[in-house]
Amino acid sequence: MTPQHRLSARRADGPVQSVLFVCTANICRSPFAERLAAWLLPDLTVASAGVTALEGRPMDPPMAAELRRRGITPRADGGRQVEAMDLDADLVLVMSRQHRRPLIEERPDAVDRIGLLTSLPRLGGQVNDRAVTRRDVAAWARNSFDRPGVLDPFQRGPEAAAQAAATIEQNVEILADLIAPPDLAVFIDGPAPSSQEHP
């Protein structure tokens, strides 16, 4: 069974259950996003990879420091090259427009799952405070590349790392609200308020 056929049965209006973050070397931006998303959304399947990964290399120290500042432990493994199977994820978030082409060349069927991280506010406006679905992702993805991405902080010092981390954090927090909207989270964690009036 091809990847496209394997995915066809679960597309439609099913929830987004897996997210892949992609950057260049997989030692700065995407592993930061992966660890932050895993911390905010422990039930979500998250991963990260690079289009030209520095395989096995640990996370860049300034970006690792940004995670620790937020109380999050950097990942233990090193950079990892993206593989075709990684693109089975329900949502693939890239850090810049330049990351899109090599992913589509690897998996043309993933085109409607690949979007720009910094365009998540537009996706948020599209779903109107409900949990995002795979259909929502497909409608948003191709038109998500009309804004700047996250600048690569590699070897540019702590200030560049802090700026990249802040941009990623802002957008991953939007992702968290898209996956588990606050009102839905309240409903899941406790009983829904009764519509009946009480004396």
Which residues participate in catalysis according to the annotation? 23, 29, 129
Question: Rg of the chain's alpha carbons, rounded to an integer?
Answer: 17
Q: Which residues contact 37 (CB under 8 A, 6 or more apart)?
A: 19, 21, 44, 46, 172, 175, 176
Residue type for position 26: N
**Dihedral-angle region of residue 181 (phi above 0 means left; psi in -120 to 50 means alpha; beta otherwise):** beta
What are the distances in angstroms from CA 166 to CA 19, 57, 63, 69, 178?
20, 23, 11, 12, 19
